Amino acid sequence: MQQRNSQTINVTRNATGQKTREILVLALLLVCSLVAVLTTIGIVASLAFEAFRFFQEVSLFDFLFGLEWSPQTALRSDQVGSSGSFGAIPLITGTLLISAIAMAIATPLGLLSAIYLAEYASDGARSVIKPLLELLAGIPTVVYGFFAALVIAPMLRNSGENVGLVISSESALAAGLTMGIMIVPLVSSLSDDVINAVPQSLRDASYALGSTQAETIKQVVLPAAIPGIAGSLLLAASRAIGETMIVVMAAGLAANLTANPFEAVTTVTVQIVTLLTGDQEFDSAKTLSAFALGLLLFIITLCMNVAALKIVDRYKE
Amino acid sequence: MNSIVMRENINTMIEHSDFAPENSIISAKNVDVFYGEKQALFNMNLDVVENSVTALIGPSGCGKSTLLRCFNRMNDVIPICHVEGSITLGGQDIHASNVDVVSLRQKVGMVFQKPNPFPKSIYDNIAYGPRIHGMTTSKAELDEVVEKSLKRAGLWDEVKDRLDKLGTGLSGGQQQRLCIARAIAVQPKVILMDEPCSALDPIATATVEELIDELRERFTIIIVTHSMQQAARVSMHTAFFHLGNLVEYGATSDIFTAPKDERTQNYITGRIG
């Protein structure tokens, strides 16, 4: 009886100490996660605030639907010939053109390699190929950038000359191709996981009905994995739209409104970089337009990420 | 064991325990199965009677499911699995080089432990097999196959108004009957069932057992079960396995009322397993 009493008291004391520690740890964890949340809120707020200042000088309609981008406003009042036009359409089409080329490369390459890895590859082949593919994801984008500018672009221009095509040395094609290779591991790795998550029992059912492996993959595995694959493609596309280094180095600065992949185009990200690098004053429409572009980009990729996560989540259920 | 309900017509069929029926459709001779280094089945000899229900019983890990998966070469899917000996279907060696595993599996269908309908419509679940084998030439013909298969599986009345709904949305028992209908749709000779009722409640189990009884007229059924009552209820012949060996094989009534081997006796009375 005596013993049990003293034990009870000890337990209570320990529990109090425990409680304090737990509260401290909890507070630490909360603060850490708050840092990330507050930073996000801060970034969004500054984007929104500066973009609002921009839209006091340039109308939202002109920004979203204007066909010409030439952000050369006067730095001094006596400077000439720089009225500036802030139509984002050429930037958006350039971004979409390069992203579309990238997705056209990454979707088949990534998906087919995922199918190979998940369904056909032996354990040996898989243990070599999968890390190599993921190594592709570890290459810094600036390396991809000068690879695109110094290897891919001249190669395209020369081979274009040989068949009588005019491909500019900074082309949407060079940037898109390189970006496509860059996001292959993103597509293949996520799709591989999704395909592996298709229950073996479904494959067994299909085999037991006398399907071949190809029929099973085409008619059972892929249909079951489609939502997850769509999610992985959306994530890859949103990565392509937000990608900067490759396009800065390979795509050019000319805001051409074109769908021709052989011409130079520019993207939202490239323009933000050029608007804000160097000495700038943050009171002109020119510099402020970067924030409007940033906000636009943020909204686009946010929507795509949310859609992708929604699709992937629904698939998991 | 008297309390177990027995089929009446089978007592007289076979009297000896080295059971070698004349009208066998599947015949396994000296079959050894290995998973990597580990041997799962030892020198198995078993003849399965056509148009009857044969139950494979025995404790977990005794090799009964392994043997079942030999009959439609589902073990091919497992890379480390290795089968020796001869298995014939209607006199033809199923491991012969000219045998197409696709046609073999069309002739020897399978129903799994856990209902595994495709995440497709009820209609497409049934139509899957006939479509890949090109068994029908028109939509009307396919409709007919779907209807007939669902009727034979006793599911038609429950699902005829929602054939376009997902097969995975049915109840467990309905899903399992859907899987049986799916197997029937490719017109197999033999249907292998791997503990088809272990994931079902007693009422759904009773429905599936009734179905097995009806299917016996058209198909040869081999069923692996952990329930000795179920083996006694649905099967004509029973094979008892222990540690990878076939211990005893014969008429179900003999196995359950007068087992010859002590291990069988111990198992059916609940002393081992």
Instruction: Report the alpha-carbon distance of residue B199 to residue B114 in Å, rounded.
Output: 6
At A170, is the pLDDT very low, low, confident or very high (cuts 50, 70, 90)? confident
Mapping DSSP to helix (H, G, I), strand (E, B) and coil, where does residue B110 land?
strand
Query: Do A255 and A190 reside in the same domain of the chain?
Result: yes
Q: Tell me the two tokens of residue A271.
A: 């323009």
Instruction: Closest CB to B129: pick one of A199, A202, A209.
Output: A209
Query: Do A119 and A7 reside in the same domain of the chain?
Result: no
| Residue A127 touches chain B, beta carbons under 8 Å | no
Examine residue A69 and state whether it is found in any structural domain, yes or no: no
**pLDDT recorded at residue B15:** 36
Percent of chain B whose predicted confidence (pLDDT) is above 70: 92
Q: Tell me the two tokens of residue A209.
A: 């009905």
Nearest CA in chain B to A200: B116
Query: Do A129 and A34 reside in the same domain of the chain?
Result: no
Flag whether the ipTM exceeds 0.90: no
CATH number of the domain bearing residue A226: 1.10.3720.10
Query: Do A27 and A151 reside in the same domain of the chain?
Result: no
Contact A210 B112 (CB under 8 A): no
Task: Work out how many domains chain A is built from and give that number.
Answer: 2
| Residue B114 touches chain A, beta carbons under 8 Å | yes
Whether B55 has a pLDDT exceeding 90, the answer reads: yes
Within 8 A of B105 by CB-CB distance, chain A residues are 207-210
What are the helix (H) ranges across A116-152?
123-138, 141-147
Instruction: Report the alpha-carbon distance of residue A122 to residue B263 in Å, rounded.
Output: 42
pLDDT tens readout for residues A55-103: 888 888 888 888 888 877 555 555 555 567 888 888 899 999 999 999 9
Whether A8 has a pLDDT exceeding 70, the answer reads: no
At A192, is the pLDDT very low, low, confident or very high (cuts 50, 70, 90)? very high
Examine residue A23 and state whether it is found in any structural domain, yes or no: yes
Percent of chain A whose predicted confidence (pLDDT) is above 70: 90
Examine residue A250 and state whether it is found in any structural domain, yes or no: yes
Contact B186 A209 (CB under 8 A): yes
| Residue A5 touches chain B, beta carbons under 8 Å | no
Query: Do A46 and A158 reside in the same domain of the chain?
Result: no
Query: Do A27 and A166 reside in the same domain of the chain?
Result: no
Examine residue A62 and state whether it is found in any structural domain, yes or no: no
Contact B74 A206 (CB under 8 A): no
Query: Do A171 and A235 reside in the same domain of the chain?
Result: yes
Query: Do A222 and A116 reside in the same domain of the chain?
Result: yes
Highest mean pLDDT among A61-70, A247-256, B241-250: B241-250
| Residue B82 touches chain A, beta carbons under 8 Å | no
Best A126, A209, A213 member to test B by mutation, with max B CBs in 10 Å, is A209
Instruction: Report the alpha-carbon distance of residue A41 to residue B33 in Å, rounded.
Output: 63
At A6, is the pLDDT very low, low, confident or very high (cuts 50, 70, 90)? low
Alpha carbon B105 to chain centroid, angstroms: 13
Best B74, B76, B77, B222 member to test A by mutation, with max A CBs in 10 Å, is B77
Report yes or no: B153 and B161 within 8 Å, Cβ to Cβ: no
| Residue A257 touches chain B, beta carbons under 8 Å | no
Examine residue A9 and state whether it is found in any structural domain, yes or no: yes
Count the helices and strands in chain A (H runs, E runs): 13, 2
Query: Do A169 and A219 reside in the same domain of the chain?
Result: yes
Instruction: Report the alpha-carbon distance of residue A191 to residue A183 in Å, rounded.
Output: 12
Report yes or no: A57 and A33 within 8 Å, Cβ to Cβ: no
Nearest to B121 by CA among B182, B167, B177, B173: B167
- The kind and range of the H/E element at A42 are helix A2-57
Minimum distance, in Å, between the CA of residue A108 and any CA atom of chain B: 24
**pLDDT recorded at residue A10:** 59
Strands (E), chain B: 24-35, 38-49, 53-57, 81-89, 92-93, 108-111, 190-194, 220-224, 237-242, 245-251
**pLDDT recorded at residue A75:** 54
User: What pTM, to 2 d.p., does this model score?
Assistant: 0.78
Instruction: Report the alpha-carbon distance of residue B154 to residue B215 in Å, rounded.
Output: 10
Q: Give exposure, A172-190, as e/b (b: 16+ Cβ within 10 Å).
A: bbbbbbbbbbbbbbbbbbb
Instruction: Report the alpha-carbon distance of residue B125 to residue A3 in Å, rounded.
Output: 68
Whether A128 has a pLDDT exceeding 80, the answer reads: yes
The DSSP code for B76 is: G
Contact B128 A219 (CB under 8 A): yes
Mapping DSSP to helix (H, G, I), strand (E, B) and coil, where does residue B82 land?
strand
Query: Do A20 and A159 reside in the same domain of the chain?
Result: no
Quick one: A57 exposed, middle or buried, by C-beta within 10 A (0-12, 13-18, 19+)? middle
Across A176-191, average pLDDT: 93
Identity of the residue numbered B271: R
Count the helices and strands in chain B (H runs, E runs): 10, 10
Which is more confidently placed, B85 or A309?
B85
Query: Do A240 and A292 reside in the same domain of the chain?
Result: yes
pLDDT tens readout for residues B5-47: 444 333 333 333 456 677 889 999 999 999 988 999 999 899 9
Domain that holds residue A34: 2-56
Instruction: Report the alpha-carbon distance of residue A160 to residue A262 in Å, rounded.
Output: 9
Quick one: A276 exposed, middle or buried, by C-beta within 10 A (0-12, 13-18, 19+)? middle
| Residue B78 touches chain A, beta carbons under 8 Å | no
Strands B53-57 and B220-224: parallel
Query: Do A155 and A40 reside in the same domain of the chain?
Result: no
Minimum distance, in Å, between the CA of residue B212 and any CA atom of chain A: 19
Nearest to B21 by CA among B60, B59, B54: B54
**pLDDT recorded at residue A83:** 60
Report yes or no: A85 and A58 within 8 Å, Cβ to Cβ: no
Instruction: Report the alpha-carbon distance of residue A62 to residue A83 in Å, rounded.
Output: 14
Q: Tell me the two tokens of residue A124.
A: 């040996």
Report yes or no: B57 and B239 within 8 Å, Cβ to Cβ: yes
Nearest CA in chain B to A226: B119
Q: Phi, psi at residue B164, to the nearest 5°?
A: -90, 0
Minimum distance, in Å, between the CA of residue A197 and any CA atom of chain B: 14
Nearest to B240 by CA among B273, B217, B215: B273
The CB-based long-range contact list for B248-251 (8 Å cut-off, 24+ gap) reads: B248/B17, B249/B17, B249/B19, B249/B46, B250/B14, B250/B16, B250/B17, B250/B19, B251/B10, B251/B11, B251/B13, B251/B14, B251/B19
Examine residue A93 and state whether it is found in any structural domain, yes or no: yes
The domain over range B1-94+228-273 is classified in CATH as 3.40.50.300: yes
Cβ-Cβ contacts under 8 Å for A286 (sequence gap 6 or more) = A71, A72, A73, A84, A275
